[in-house]
A and B are shown apart, each in its own frame.
Chain A
């Protein structure tokens, strides 16, 4: 297999883009990534997206976006793996270039959530859970996360404030990020005082609704001129039905995907200089930190509260704000994460820069940890 490099990154600001459709949003990120790479074009296109069918009544995004970019004849397909769509699409793009089937892959994610009414968005999000066993009950995604959040506090004696600190850190890191949706500080008191979304999860512990698009350009590493190489990508899955899990508070897909990635890259958790994890609510960020190997099970919240994930901490995490503060446009999120890690390794992270970062990792989750995509990038 060929070594693969990230040649370009394009990130649209996460916002409520009322005047842009899926095509315009996608093109903004894609054209920025192609410009950044200095690429004339591409021969394969992967479009990550989760909810265009229920929210826009639109499928067949591969050909649609290829057409929107004027790329006649290229290979193009939509990749959907719930909110892990971006991470999984990246994995597919890497495989295409590594195998030699593609010499330049454009991998982009797009999501336009503001088109939907709140109940439509909630129904769309619930589609990543089993309609026969879980989603039909009417439980929301945040409602499911709340089960884990409550169980975590009960089993490990973690305080609501310690778990909420994950959101505090994310907001601190988003300040100065040009593409973040909420680049401002939020105190733990304000989070705890915000309305309950699903007890014990407060509104300000949840990623909001946002529109966004992110894209990267992948090329063979040799003679690419890029100093950001893919050290590993892996995708793993777990029981789709929460009640069948070995342990509710352990995401086996995260453990499996990260174990494979560490092995492929020849690194351990201790070698990771910068980390992006999937914090659609605070508890999911905490569990991710644990299952990726940065804190013992049950001690993730204390690790975060103690400063382990700050820019100067043990493992700087969600350095542009994560899902909570950069924003979480579902299918695009995994590509924001990979793009942000690439910017950190290039030294192009501006006010969000982590000093001396040479190995970075991104973790993207679909459903309640039923799909996990892990990517490790290395500065060449």
Chain B
């Protein structure tokens, strides 16, 4: 999908909570073997999806240097809403000073809810309906005790502000592509605490077919190939999947390494590929092209092609880079983790 008016990213920000749970700690308690990642980020006592969204939204506004009153839409993509009914988007919009002349809502599409918000923000800005639009992917993902997901289900998010292409856009959107089917690989029904998944069904027919389908669809439409991209970011449910997806599509480790945060952060669900993109933008240079492909169970992928602009060079480090959140950490044991994630109650 290409817009008739050029759109780009004018600001972005990420946030990752400080607590970490080592995968080995899960093995210590449950007796498993193998570790799909090193460690995952866990919220603190006073954090939830909304506080994460607010943190990264504030960083994005600061980096963009825009008047929050000019942000005409705030969309939060998440599958871990603190309220079943009451938008996260309204709270974030209020917190950053974008209310009341603003659209606000939440998106749900498992791990691609954040990039679904990207697509809509890009469309709103390109059409001229709003000057700026903010898309956030943030989650405090749930994993059933001893389930494979407990090793990886993590907390974090990233926010992006889209605006018309100008000398202030950090990276321009060259095109996007969505690839969606009814594939029930992972789900959580209403009032259920933990999601369920189809085990190995989540791999080949779910993650890989959609990631590859979206990436090929986008590159086919733009006439680009892996050689045209300096960097690539794929949704990161574990360390193995994005590396294998890169291999299948013809990308080397050098291309995905800057954005491959999952070994140290875990799978932040709707925040996963947006955080990976943020970590990549942190190191990208003008002229670099970045491919980003999300994946959400249920299932679908959104693929984006970004061309990094000159503005990025002058916009470095007013705000914390993703790497600073990765190194800022303290370890919790399984007991404290259980309390923080509501697995035990007084």
Q: Please list the residues of chain A having a beta carbon within 8 angstroms of any beta carbon in chain B.
A: 16, 18-19, 114, 117-118, 195-196, 209
What is the bound-complex CA distance between A118 and B146, given in angstroms? 14
Q: How far is the CB of B311 from chain A (nearest CB, A)?
A: 45
CB of B220 closer than 8 Å to a CB of A? no
CB of B201 closer than 8 Å to a CB of A? yes
Q: Which of B21-58 contact A (CB under 8 A)?
A: 33-34
CB of B286 closer than 8 Å to a CB of A? no
CB of B204 closer than 8 Å to a CB of A? yes
Check A117 against B34 for contact (C-beta < 8 Å): no
What is the bound-complex CA distance between A18 and B205, given in angstroms? 7
Check A18 against B33 for contact (C-beta < 8 Å): no
Q: How far is the CB of B304 from chain A (nearest CB, A)?
A: 27
List 14 interface pairs A-B (beta carbons < 8 Å), by A numbering.
Answer: A16-B200, A16-B204, A18-B201, A18-B204, A18-B205, A19-B205, A114-B200, A114-B201, A117-B198, A117-B199, A195-B33, A195-B34, A196-B33, A209-B200
Determine the chain A residues whose CB is within 8 A of the CB of B34 once the complex forms. 195
Q: Please list the residues of chain B having a beta carbon within 8 angstroms of any beta carbon in chain A.
A: 33-34, 198-201, 204-205
What is the bound-complex CA distance between A195 and B198, given in angstroms? 22
Check A118 against B204 for contact (C-beta < 8 Å): no
Determine the chain A residues whose CB is within 8 A of the CB of B200 once the complex forms. 16, 114, 209
Main SS class of interface, B:
helix
Residue of A nearest to B183 (CB): A18
Determine the chain A residues whose CB is within 8 A of the CB of B33 once the complex forms. 195-196
Query: How many A-B pairs fall under 8 Å by CB?
Result: 15
Main SS class of interface, A:
loop
Residue of B nearest to A209 (CB): B200
Determine the chain B residues whose CB is within 8 A of the CB of A117 once the complex forms. 198-199
Q: How far is the CB of B147 from chain A (nearest CB, A)?
A: 11
What is the bound-complex CA distance between A206 and B107, given in angstroms? 44
Determine the chain A residues whose CB is within 8 A of the CB of B204 once the complex forms. 16, 18
What is the bound-complex CA distance between A44 and B48, given in angstroms? 64
Determine the chain B residues whose CB is within 8 A of the CB of A118 once the complex forms. 199
Residue of B nearest to A119 (CB): B199
What is the bound-complex CA distance between A101 and B344, given in angstroms? 67
What is the bound-complex CA distance between A299 and B198, given in angstroms? 42
Residue of A nearest to B205 (CB): A18
What is the bound-complex CA distance between A16 and B205, given in angstroms? 9
Determine the chain B residues whose CB is within 8 A of the CB of A114 once the complex forms. 200-201
What is the bound-complex CA distance between A233 and B248, given in angstroms? 46
What is the bound-complex CA distance between A166 and B198, given in angstroms? 32
What is the bound-complex CA distance between A318 and B201, given in angstroms? 29
Residue of B nearest to A116 (CB): B199
Q: How far is the CB of A25 from chain B (nearest CB, A)?
A: 15
What is the bound-complex CA distance between A196 and B204, given in angstroms? 25
What is the bound-complex CA distance between A118 and B199, given in angstroms? 7
What is the bound-complex CA distance between A56 and B204, given in angstroms? 20
Q: How far is the CB of A294 from chain B (nearest CB, A)?
A: 35
Q: How far is the CB of A202 from chain B (nearest CB, A)?
A: 11
Residue of A nearest to B209 (CB): A18
Residue from the set A114, A195, A196 with the largest chain B CB neighbour count within 10 Å: A114
Determine the chain B residues whose CB is within 8 A of the CB of A19 once the complex forms. 205
Residue of A nearest to B206 (CB): A18
Determine the chain B residues whose CB is within 8 A of the CB of A195 once the complex forms. 33-34
Taking A19-B205, A114-B201, A195-B33 as known contacts, 7 extra A-B pairs with beta carbons closer than 8 A to each other, sorted by chain A number, are: A16-B200, A16-B204, A18-B205, A114-B200, A117-B198, A117-B199, A196-B33
Residue of B nearest to A19 (CB): B205
Residue of B nearest to A196 (CB): B33
Q: How far is the CB of B105 from chain A (nearest CB, A)?
A: 34
Q: How far is the CB of A76 from chain B (nearest CB, A)?
A: 31
Q: How far is the CB of B337 from chain A (nearest CB, A)?
A: 24
What is the bound-complex CA distance between A10 and B34, given in angstroms? 39
Determine the chain A residues whose CB is within 8 A of the CB of B205 once the complex forms. 18-19
Q: How far is the CB of A109 from chain B (nearest CB, A)?
A: 22
Determine the chain A residues whose CB is within 8 A of the CB of B201 once the complex forms. 18, 114
What is the bound-complex CA distance between A359 and B134, given in angstroms? 73
